[in-house]
Amino acid sequence: MRAVAPAPLPAPHSLRLEIIDTARLAWPMALTQLGQIAMMTTDLALLGRLGADVMAAASLAHAILFGAFVVGAGLVSAVAPMAAQAFGARDPRGVRAALRAGLWISALASLPLTMSQFWGYEMLLLLGQEEGAARQAARYLQGLAWSLAPGWAFIAIRGFMGAVNRPEPALRIMLAAVPVNGVLAYALIYGAFGLPALDVLGAGLATTIVNIGMCAAALWVAATQPPFRRYQPLAGVWTWDWSVMGSMLKLGAPISVTFFLEYGLFSASSFIVGVIGVTELAAHQIALQIASIIFMAPFGVSMAATVRVGQALGRGDMAAARRAGFIAIWLGLAFMVAMTILIVLTRDLIPLAFLGPGSAPEAATLAATLLLVASTFFVFDGLQTVASGALRGLNDTRAPLLYAAISFWLVGFSAAWIFAFPLGLSTTGVWMGLTVSLIVYAWLLVRRFDRLTRA
């Protein structure tokens, strides 16, 4: 494959300003994403104290939930580029209309997808999972299912806030939510502070309650606090704008399917590893959770890239859009290289945070091995997500969908299966296949952005 490098950027002054503006947007977005994954990590760390089998069941539950979550998340992710382009074009009505459409889509998508979570037990049995693990996962999903709609609405509001260059309130809401979720999850899992001990169901209920609170807080901030209130974000919220809804679905549906293909591969990897064994699945979930944690920083950079590129596109300045996209790509890449080095050096200690000293030593040893194998995975995962965000800022979502189908399923799933079973590399082979898929996907996306903005 021929490496695709960004063309030389203009004046150092413009370069420096773009780095500053992108970083200013990216850090609160990244920390907000990190807070989101911190809540899930807290739940897993608390549940892991109940045993590796519970950790494995939680992994299966998340795989089912995320299959639904990414569908709605992809649809409402279109709020950010649409609102950013309207902001760049100085069209406040367009900004408001984008958020309003995102809230409606959150509500409508939740109706079928929330109900689907109550069939988790049957779905897991069809996928060949052990009955005990499937039953535990289904109990977890009973609490988690109701978190979908408020979670999507929060994404839509966060996209609106970022599009007008003010992502900090979403971060403050998330920072308040993380400790609340930890205390509430602990209380409902183990039965503290007078609350009942509900084990995995309690963890799911805590996540739902906190998500509802976050959504309510974000709506209040958007409606009452400057600078958001001047856009009157909830004005006419009961009015349907079919044109904007259609545009959002046209832009968001490919994002949704792309997310589904990507997360579907990682969910499928959990099912593959679940067939291998419970110990392997627990180790796989630990490594995947670490990947998710560090992924949040480049994902925040990706959202900043969507906003910066979208604002430039709204102004009709393609040179600025190109500059914004490649600056974001380099920032995301630099962060992931640094984090990968840190994880490789601390790989033997990380599993202890999930399993505890002396607990499930085989799972801890295998998790440390997977973290070493995943070093290349981490770098290309960061690269592909920032490039995806830059392309979304250009309203380019269909080609990435095609690339995702090729990279994740034609290449990635096939490679994971071949490495794991015919070649006998087991769980390590699954991670090698995932890495191959990300290398291919990242290369295709960066090449696409380079071609679209070169002229």
- Tell me if 94 is assigned to some domain: yes
325, pLDDT greater than 50? yes
The tens digit of pLDDT for each residue in 405-447 reads: 999 999 999 999 999 999 999 999 999 999 999 999 999 999 9
pLDDT at 358: 63
The count of domains in the chain is 1
236, pLDDT greater than 70? yes
pLDDT at 356: 62
208, pLDDT greater than 50? yes
| Contacts with 161 (C-beta within 8 Å, 6 or more apart), sequence order | 167, 169, 170, 218, 222, 228
pLDDT greater at residue 274 or residue 402: 402
Binned at pLDDT 50, 70 and 90, residue 240 comes out as: confident
pLDDT at 38: 83
Binned at pLDDT 50, 70 and 90, residue 17 comes out as: confident
- Measured N-to-C along each axis, helices 278-315 and 426-454 cross at an angle, to the nearest 10 degrees, of 10
- Tell me if 2 is assigned to some domain: no
87, pLDDT greater than 90? yes
Extract the tokens encoding 188.
């409902």
pLDDT at 16: 82
Q: What is the pTM of this model?
A: 0.85
Q: How many CB atoms lie within 10 A of CB 191?
A: 14
Extract the tokens encoding 386.
């920032």
Query: Which segment of 68-82, 234-248, 333-347 scores lowest on mean pLDDT?
Result: 234-248
- Tell me if 3 is assigned to some domain: no
The tens digit of pLDDT for each residue in 138-171 reads: 999 999 999 999 999 999 999 999 999 999 999 9
289-305 mean pLDDT = 89
DSSP string, 147-191: GHHHHHHHHHHHHHHHHTT--HHHHHHHHHHHHHHHHHHHHHHHT
Binned at pLDDT 50, 70 and 90, residue 384 comes out as: very high
Exposed, middle or buried by CB within 10 Å (0-12, 13-18, 19+), for 359?
middle
Tokens 């998790």 sit on residue = 367
- Tell me if 4 is assigned to some domain: no
- Tell me if 450 is assigned to some domain: yes
- Contact between residue 200 and residue 191 where contact means Cβ atoms under 8 Å apart: no
Binned at pLDDT 50, 70 and 90, residue 2 comes out as: very low
CA-closest candidate to residue 167, choices 26, 310, 293:
26
- Tell me if 6 is assigned to some domain: no
Exposed, middle or buried by CB within 10 Å (0-12, 13-18, 19+), for 312?
buried
| Contacts with 351 (C-beta within 8 Å, 6 or more apart), sequence order | 283, 286, 363, 364, 365, 367, 368
9, pLDDT greater than 50? no
333-360 mean pLDDT = 86
| Contacts with 317 (C-beta within 8 Å, 6 or more apart), sequence order | none
184-209 mean pLDDT = 92
245-267 mean pLDDT = 91
pLDDT at 392: 97
Rg (CA), the chain: 21
- Domain assignment of residue 353, given as a range: 12-454
Handedness of CA 394, 254, 406, 113 (dihedral sign): positive
- Contact between residue 61 and residue 120 where contact means Cβ atoms under 8 Å apart: yes
Distance CA 420, CA 272 (A): 9
Task: Name the region of 199 (left: φ>0; alpha: ψ -120 to 50; beta: rest).
Answer: left
Distance CA 229, CA 232 (A): 5
| Contacts with 182 (C-beta within 8 Å, 6 or more apart), sequence order | 39, 42, 46
Distance CA 272, CA 267 (A): 9
pLDDT at 12: 53
Tokens 């809230």 sit on residue = 103
pLDDT at 51: 78
Distance CA 314, CA 397 (A): 17
Binned at pLDDT 50, 70 and 90, residue 33 comes out as: confident
- Tell me if 7 is assigned to some domain: no
pLDDT at 43: 83
How does DSSP classify residue 229?
G
